[in-house]
Amino acid sequence: MDDGALLEAAADNLAGWHECSVGALGFASATGPWWWTSPSPGPWIYFTAILRRVPNGRPEITAALDALRAHLDDPAGSYEAVCDSFGVLNLERLDLARRMTGLWYGRPAGPIPREPDLDDLIITEVRSEADLAAFEQATCAAFAAPQPLTPFEIHSPGILQDPAMHVIIGRVGDAVVSGAMAYRAAGVLGIYGIGTVPGHRRQGHASALTRACLAIEPMLPATLQPSIEATGLYRRLGFTEVGRFTHWG
């Protein structure tokens, strides 16, 4: 799979992860030729629109912008968080502001690099609502986000019914201190939300969780959107930059 095909697969995977996540929370979504959209997904971590394929030439750009304009004009929308998955559109003409530009990293299918196991870290896949609530709390702490007022405001137990969705936690003793998610769709494994709570960082948790995600489907290419600080870690695991996205709001 070349970088262009991988990027479009990554965008569709991102849309699938969103559809599973916001659908489990009870929010509607739609998939069109250009965009995945959800009028009001609620929790701050989710986009309201994701560009699924690259528009080539002025007619396709116009068609993509017209489709997004129809979404933006929907009175059901409560706020806008738009992901141009390929960083190719200027959405200022739709009265949106550029919030950030980020990286896509991809890794070909194949063996997972071995690293020493961490003696005190126990990695398991979430199967119960109790573990999902602990995952939600830990990842909010990891990303310095407000804790949910009630469990499952961000991640509903319904996501555990989707066989494509995998939620991973890392425990030290009885405490959940790190987490990650992986989603199989569009021929790739998308990895999301790898985070470690303060006090347990720089101990190899992110690398261990990434390798645990890769082990779910090692014969699929994998994609993720790393922070700048984490790019070295992912390069060591075989990821390389394959594109850039832009977040508008």
| Of 189, 198, 197, 199, nearest in space to 239 by CA | 189
Cβ 89 vs Cβ 247: under 8 Å = no
- For 194, the 3-state DSSP assignment is strand
pTM of the model: 0.95
Cβ 146 vs Cβ 113: under 8 Å = no
Exposed e or buried b per residue across 68-94, where buried means at least 16 C-beta atoms within 10 angstroms of its C-beta: beebbeeeebeebbbbbbbbbbebeeb
Q: Which CATH number fits domain 122-241: 3.10.50.40, 3.40.190.10, 3.40.630.30, 1.20.120.160?
A: 3.40.630.30
Per-residue pLDDT 10s for the chain (249 aa) are: 898 999 999 999 999 999 999 999 999 999 999 999 998 767 889 999 999 999 999 999 999 999 999 999 876 665 789 999 999 999 999 999 999 999 999 999 999 988 888 889 999 999 999 999 999 999 999 999 999 889 999 999 999 999 999 999 999 999 999 999 999 999 999 999 999 999 999 999 999 999 999 999 999 999 999 999 999 999 999 999 999 999 999
Instruction: Supply the pLDDT for residue 224.
Output: 98
The values of phi and psi at residue 136, to 5°, are -60, -45
Tokens of 29: 């979504």
Residue ranges, CATH 3.40.630.30, the chain: 122-241
